């Protein structure tokens, strides 16, 4: 079955790095890559009335820049000579999350690969607004987040962070296994709860994960008396792990409004390691 991978771009250095990472990661897989750029006029208050009378000059200029930018990417991609890969470009005048939802219904992407932040985001150790918004809005496709400083290496060890409280979608954990199989990587499952203190529900979810990982090398690890962000950071640094994965539970009503931290933010920011968000069932 052909793999369809969505690559959102805002033409920043970070998004280009994410595109290259995806191409190299799936180098030996038959893939169709869809490179998506969106543009929309931001409106506030009474300015939203202009939506009733679209600004043709803005639309035409934005469309031109979008198509030119996508054309430039296709030129840069010409250096990647791979018979397994096909590239498609999509330019849409809408919000990024809306465009992804529409495309995903039609094409059913295997994965979304995007940069950790875009060109309009402030510098610092934090994920960009668009990246966090995609994690809030897109719940039917795993999202691989690639920071600018990541140099591509086939992952040899992937750390799956979980407290076993939430059950992961079968289809999504299969994607994690597929990535591990690409380079014969091991999966290290990291939790903060000692095995003998797991609840019945946690034990059931742990058994489920073990069953899904049966075809790849894996090990369960637990660290105590420390929060997950610190535990994960130390674990990854000491072991020089190449990728982090976590189970992204559905944001609560208040989290969608901006109150409280999303699951990704609770894990901390990783400038040198890509992070794969897998959605809870």
**What is the rounded CA–CA span in Å between residue 115 and residue 161?**
21
pLDDT in tens, 55-109: 566 677 888 999 999 999 999 999 888 999 999 999 999 999 999 999 999 999 9
Question: What's the pLDDT at 250?
Answer: 65
Average pLDDT over every residue of 264-281? 84
Question: What's the pLDDT at 174?
Answer: 92
Q: Give the model's confidence band at 260: pLDDT under 50 very low, under 70 low, under 90 confident, else very high.
A: very low
**What is the rounded CA–CA span in Å between residue 281 and residue 274?**
23
Whether the CB-CB separation of 143 and 111 falls below 8 Å is answered with yes
Q: Give the model's confidence band at 227: pLDDT under 50 very low, under 70 low, under 90 confident, else very high.
A: confident
Quick one: how far is CA 90 from the chain centroid? 19
| CATH match for 1-151 among 3.40.50.620, 3.10.450.750, 3.30.70.100, 3.40.605.10 | 3.40.50.620
Whether the CB-CB separation of 168 and 281 falls below 8 Å is answered with yes
In the chain, what are the domain boundaries?
1-151, 153-281
Average pLDDT over every residue of 12-33? 94
CATH number of 153-281: 3.40.50.620
In the predicted model, what is the mean pLDDT of the chain? 86
Q: Give the model's confidence band at 123: pLDDT under 50 very low, under 70 low, under 90 confident, else very high.
A: low
Question: What's the pLDDT at 28?
Answer: 92
Torsions phi, psi for 190 (to 5 deg): -115, 125
Same fold, 1-151 and 153-281: yes
| pTM recorded for the entire structure | 0.88
Question: What's the pLDDT at 1?
Answer: 55
Whether the CB-CB separation of 33 and 88 falls below 8 Å is answered with yes
**What is the rounded CA–CA span in Å between residue 260 and residue 159?**
25
Q: Give the model's confidence band at 263: pLDDT under 50 very low, under 70 low, under 90 confident, else very high.
A: low
Torsions phi, psi for 278 (to 5 deg): -110, 135
């Amino acid at each position: 079955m052909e793999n369809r991978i969505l690559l959102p771009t805002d033409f920043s250095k970070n998004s280009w790095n994410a595109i290259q990472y995806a191409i190299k990661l799936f180098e030996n897989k038959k893939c169709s890559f869809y490179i998506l750029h969106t543009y929309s006029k931001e409106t506030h208050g009474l300015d939203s009335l202009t939506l009733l009378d679209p600004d043709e000059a803005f639309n035409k200029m934005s469309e031109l820049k979008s198509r030119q930018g996508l054309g430039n990417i296709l030129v840069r991609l010409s250096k990647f000579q791979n018979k397994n890969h096909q590239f498609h470009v999509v330019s849409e005048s809408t919000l990024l999350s809306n465009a992804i939802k529409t495309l995903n219904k039609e094409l059913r992407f295997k994965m979304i690969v995007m940069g950790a932040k875009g060109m309009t985001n402030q510098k610092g150790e934090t994920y960009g607004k668009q990246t966090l918004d995609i994690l809030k809005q897109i719940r039917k496709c795993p999202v691989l987040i690639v920071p600018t400083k990541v140099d591509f290496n086939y992952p040899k060890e992937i750390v799956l962070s979980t407290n076993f409280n939430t059950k992961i979608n079968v289809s999504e954990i299969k994607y994690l296994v597929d990535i591990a199989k690409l380079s014969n990587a091991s999966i290290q499952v990291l939790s903060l709860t000692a095995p003998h203190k797991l609840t019945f529900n946690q034990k059931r979810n742990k058994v489920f994960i073990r069953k899904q990982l049966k075809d790849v090398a894996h090990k369960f690890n637990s660290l105590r008396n420390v929060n997950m962000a610190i535990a994960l950071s130390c674990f990854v640094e000491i072991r020089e792990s190449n990728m982090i994965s976590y189970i992204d539970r559905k944001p609560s009503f208040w989290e969608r409004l901006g109150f409280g931290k999303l699951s990704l933010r609770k894990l901390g920011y990783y400038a040198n390691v890509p992070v794969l968000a897998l959605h809870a069932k």
